[in-house]
Chain A
Amino acid sequence: MNRSHPKAMAALILACIMIVVTACAGGENGGGNSKAGMESPTGETGTTGQPDTGKQEGDPFAKYDPPVEVTAARDLSGVRFREGESIENNVWSKAYEEELGIKIKYAWTTQGDYDQKLNVSIASGDLPDIFPVNGTQLKQLVDSGQLEDLTDLFETYATELTKKIVKEDPNQLKSASFKGRLMAIPKVGSATDFSQVLWMRKDWLDRLQLPEPKSMDDVATIAEAFVTQDPDGNGKADTYGLAIGAGMNGTYTSLRGFFNGYHSYPNSWFKDESGKFVYGGVQPETRNALAKLSEMYKAGLIDKEFAIKGDDKLVEQMANDKVGINYGPWWIPGGPLQANKDQNPNSSWKAYGIPSADDKPAKIQLDFPVANYVVVKKGAKHPEAAIKMLNLMVKLAYEKAEIEKYFVPSDGYPLNSYPLLFASQVNGNMNIHVHIMQALETNDPSALNAEEKMYYDRIIAYRNGDNKMWFQEGTYGNVSAWPGVKEKVDQGLLQTPDFFGAVTNTMSQKGGVLTKLELETFTKIIMNEAPIEEFDRFVENWHKLGGDEIAKEIEEWAGNL
């Protein structure tokens, strides 16, 4: 059974592919004008009159001449290169060299296990100039004074457009700041890219003549129908109701959307009505959701052995017409659902947002969009290089919109992964969907950018009979998750975590214990091996075993923001 990676990060990453041209009516011109109002407060003297010192004061795009070299490190999981290319030789490395005079020399790269390699490198005293880290590593590095303070550099060198994008969600910048100083550049992302919604087999609904689900009760009713009424018509009672996997938080299947329907937000710390930080897993709403799940398990609506089934097995169930209800990410059509379509051309999945269990509309739970930060080693010779590279990326994506050349080419290579610094737009993917839908309705793709046009073409191909392209309809078309998500966005029904700092002391010490307790308790309750009252005991223990301490630490963190 495979361990699933924090699917939060997964969505973040996938999100990043989708660059959107800002409907840049008021598109600020990011290039050139730098001097005005961007004097470096440290009073560095300008270098006017000396054209070849390689550094022009405050110009976000000044090319280093002679070119400078910076060292870096990164992970190359899943990144592919064109024939003859590599991470040090591709359109981006050329752009960095030609436009900025920056040559990146990678001290090392990995294909997974980045954290291990980074940790050993750091322990042996090797820090590259620029490299990505996670929240915990960031805090450790900051505490030991190994990072360059980027506050002023950012002010000076970042273009207006870059600043606009990075600052759009102020929390993201805050998460990279310590005592008011910016110590890293967050890999800005979009919260909605973590959307998890309800997916169902529409063809099964049709076949059994059931209405589309509007509430959690509907979900339960439909689950029962799927189990008892042979929705795939093969004469065998081999279909499950609701899909759940081991740990309840797999890559493709997660119970999060289900819990959201009960106004429960597991695995997140947020402020309740009184402004106090609470943990979703111990709230009474979670109890309600668990009770329902336990009921459904007892009624045979859930795979009796869900606890042992990992990602692969769940994909099997979806691809093989074994399950028709799945809470999963917006990008799931790209994987298991397309496999299902390949195996069974009649299958038709559709997303149904987050139905609620009562008459209060449910909020959709989203993760904090920043999981990675790019840091600069203290004492690096050209710390502003990082910011310049970010500027370039922003310019090429949002101002020049050179999507085909630098981001999402039609030959499918993930050029998005190449740049060392990257920023996504908030709601980027949702907007892609909106634009594509407009074009589909009016039959007029002229307003679409290169990336959107590529998806549009695929959707048209599907609608003309090419089933291999169904996934695009599923990710951006009218059965996709976006209509449901957009509704939540428009109505302000978003639940993002209010805590986005690094792992606290007690989290590190007791986190493992608390998680184990939670997982065990929830699993047992759902499997009917423990009564729902076990939840109350769990809550009590949770508070005593460290939950309260963590809450205190978080309050402290909030006070220091």
Chain B
Amino acid sequence: MVSGDSIGNRTFNFLNILLLVSVSLLCLLPLVHILAVSFSKSSAAAAGVVKLWPVNFTINSYQFILKKPEFLSSMNITLIRVIVGTTLSMLLTVLSAYPLSKDRRALKFRTGYAWFFVFTMLFGGGLIPWYMTIKYLGLLDSIWGLILPSALPVYNIILLLNFFRSLPVELEESALMDGAGYWKVLWKIFVPLSMPALATVGLFTIVGHWNSWFDGLILMNSPSNYPLASYLQTVIRGVDLTKLTGQDILTLASVNDRTAKAAQIFVGTIPILLVYPFLQKYFVKGIVLGSVKG
């Protein structure tokens, strides 16, 4: 009996969608609120009267941000970082996950390697040694300082190696028997079949680079070299009042302006939101999984 559109099924579908849509709306609302604040009059935002719709509509804060050179330059830096960094990371992730996905017979010391990597996820020396290492490598104040140190995401490697393991063994076995080397097997077989996993890991890497703000703050020698997230962080946290050497009251007001903060948050989040749906098309059901019989 094919499970058709029985009442039970229809109700299930309906409730399912209802619940999920409600949850999604809950997730959407804060962003809507921030959007509303960004388009509102400053004093209205300060007074907290803005909920989900702008009050005294104005595009002031957007004009304000887009005029700021720091915003655009930081966006630039982040874009470079994301593109170069993600490419490098994905490469390293794939190259490391494949050997680790094998068992001990196929690769000696496999478990040792695995723990070698996992250990780095757990232990660290803290901020100062990290900074000093980067400094001695000459990576301070350079975009490579933002890209290289985090190029090996062990968490992603573990995710990917698990996906590799879920692929049928026969695929690799038959390819190897046909004389293909490991390299070929990896790039011609495993990678194409792991699109969902790669898309997932890729997304996480992109997001990681996009959102990473602390390294920018500490490694860059000048705010003009901050990536977007670092720049946004300084905006959102407002002025560090302990370090000011002199400030006009008006400046204080404008720097702490909630609408300006909201606009910057929103603009900083948009690009990444546009990438995600684009990546979703890779979450397509297994492409050639059914091709191997037996």
A496 sits at the interface (CB 8 A): no
- In the complex, are the beta carbons of A334 and B249 less than 8 A apart? yes
- In the complex, are the beta carbons of A80 and B251 less than 8 A apart? yes
- In the complex, are the beta carbons of A9 and B241 less than 8 A apart? yes
Residue of A at shortest CB range from B136? A124
Find A76's partner among B44, B131, B217, B223 (CB 8 Å cutoff): B223
Give bound CA distance, A6 to B244, whole Å: 12
Q: How close is A250's CB to chain B, nearest CB, in angstroms?
A: 12
Q: How close is B54's CB to chain A, nearest CB, in angstroms?
A: 15
Name the B residues within 8 Å of A354 (CB-CB). Answer: none
Number of A-B residue pairs having CB atoms within 8 Å of each other in the complex: 178
Give the size of the chain B interface in residues (CB under 8 angstroms): 45
- In the complex, are the beta carbons of B128 and A123 less than 8 A apart? yes
- In the complex, are the beta carbons of A422 and B246 less than 8 A apart? yes
A417 sits at the interface (CB 8 A): yes
A187 sits at the interface (CB 8 A): yes
B239 sits at the interface (CB 8 A): yes
State whether A120 and B43 are in contact (beta carbons under 8 Å apart), knowing that A80-B251, A338-B253 are contacts in the complex: no
Give bound CA distance, A132 to B231, whole Å: 23
Find A14's partner among B43, B218, B223, B252 (CB 8 Å cutoff): B252
Pick from A57-65, A309-317, A377-385 the stretch touching chain B.
Answer: A309-317
Give bound CA distance, A414 to B251, whole Å: 8
- In the complex, are the beta carbons of A343 and B47 less than 8 A apart? yes
- In the complex, are the beta carbons of A9 and B48 less than 8 A apart? no
B3 sits at the interface (CB 8 A): no
Q: How close is A131's CB to chain B, nearest CB, in angstroms?
A: 12
B220-258 interface bits toward A, Cβ cutoff 8 Å, 1 = contact, 0 = none: 111110100001011001111111111111111101101
Interface residues of A in 175-220 (CB under 8 A from B): 187
Residue of A at shortest CB range from B220? A108
Give bound CA distance, A75 to B237, whole Å: 15
State whether A14 and B242 are in contact (beta carbons under 8 Å apart), knowing that A108-B221, A319-B47 are contacts in the complex: no
State whether A75 and B43 are in contact (beta carbons under 8 Å apart), knowing that A422-B246, A475-B249 are contacts in the complex: no
Name the B residues within 8 Å of A334 (CB-CB). Answer: 249-250, 252-253
- Residue from A114, A312, A371 whose CB has the most chain B CB atoms within 10 Å: A312
Q: Show 16 A/B contacts (Cβ-Cβ < 8 Å), sorted by A.
A: A6-B242, A13-B241, A14-B247, A14-B249, A16-B245, A78-B251, A110-B223, A114-B240, A116-B127, A119-B128, A124-B128, A124-B132, A132-B243, A335-B252, A339-B42, A416-B245
Q: Residues of A at under 8 Å CB distance from B?
A: 2, 5-7, 9-10, 13-14, 16-17, 74-80, 86, 106-114, 116-117, 119-120, 123-124, 132, 134, 187, 251, 312-313, 315-316, 319-320, 331, 333-336, 338-340, 342-343, 371-372, 407-408, 412, 414-417, 419, 422, 471, 475
Question: Top 7 closest A-B pairs, CB basis?
Answer: A416-B246, A334-B249, A316-B48, A342-B43, A13-B244, A108-B221, A319-B47
Starting from the known contacts A315-B47, A319-B47, 15 additional A-B residue pairs (CB-CB under 8 Å) come to A6-B242, A13-B241, A17-B247, A78-B255, A86-B224, A108-B220, A111-B240, A116-B218, A117-B218, A123-B131, A124-B135, A338-B43, A416-B245, A417-B244, A422-B246
